[in-house]
Amino acid sequence: MGISKIVMALDDQPMWASINRHALELQKCTECGAFRYPPAPVCPNDLNDKADWVPVTGRGEIISWVVFHKKYFDDHAPLYNSTAVRLDEGPIIVTQLRGEEPGGSWIGQRVELVYAEHAGRSQHFAHWLKSEAA
């Protein structure tokens, strides 16, 4: 057991710096305009290595979720969820839904990223946009 760790490859560093500023930025290809996640040295569509770091809206839609009953990390006590969200910009990210949870299926529900301190670092989490309930 231990504390969950961030994977911090070279290309991840600007992203985590933006998370520390509580405004997630992702690379946007200067050629085709596609956002990519995880950060990468070239665009998989055209191999262009030029990209702008662009803030995302932080809004998206849940496409799946799980609930952990087994404990794997000291900083995540079951029961807790991990939630896959398709950002409005395109990429799927994994985050964690906090606050009020939808009854029944979470799939298709709209969420917005929020930021909080966790295990001594800033992270994004998701809040359910109940007013836009599917």
Partner 1 sequence: MPDKSLSKVAAVVGVGHTDYRGDWTRTRAGEKPRDSVGYAADAFKAALADAGLKASDIDGLIVGNTTPYERMGEVLGIDAKWGGQGDAMLNVIQACMAINAGLCENVALVYGNNQRSGGTNYGGDNAAGGGAFLSYVYHAPWGFTSQGALYAMMFRRYMEESGLTSAELGEVAVAQRIHASLTPHALMQKRITVEDYLASNFVCEPLHLYDYCLINDGGVAIIISAADRAKSIRPDPVLIHGVGRHDLNRGATSLEPRLTNYYLPAQQAVAEQVFNMAGVGPQDMDCLQVYDSFSCHIPLALEGYGYCKVGEAGKFMREHGISLEKGLPVNTAGGHLSESYMQGWAHQVEAVRQVRGTCGARQVPDCRFVHYSSDVAGKAVSIIYGR
Return the structure tokens found at 75.
Answer: 């900083």
Of 7 and 10, CB closest to partner 1? 7
**Residues making contact with partner 1 (CB under 8 A):** 1-7, 37-38, 44, 63-70, 72-73, 75-76, 80, 82-84, 91-96, 105, 107, 118-119, 121, 123, 125
Contact 84, 65 (CB under 8 A): yes
Of 96 and 129, CB closest to partner 1? 96
CA-CA distance, 25 to 30, in Å (whole number)? 15
* C-alpha count within 13 angstroms, C-beta hemisphere, residue 130: 6
Of 59 and 122, CB closest to partner 1? 122
CA-CA distance, 70 to 67, in Å (whole number)? 9
Q: How far is the CB of 79 from partner 1 (least distance, A)?
A: 8
Q: How far is the CB of 81 from partner 1 (least distance, A)?
A: 8
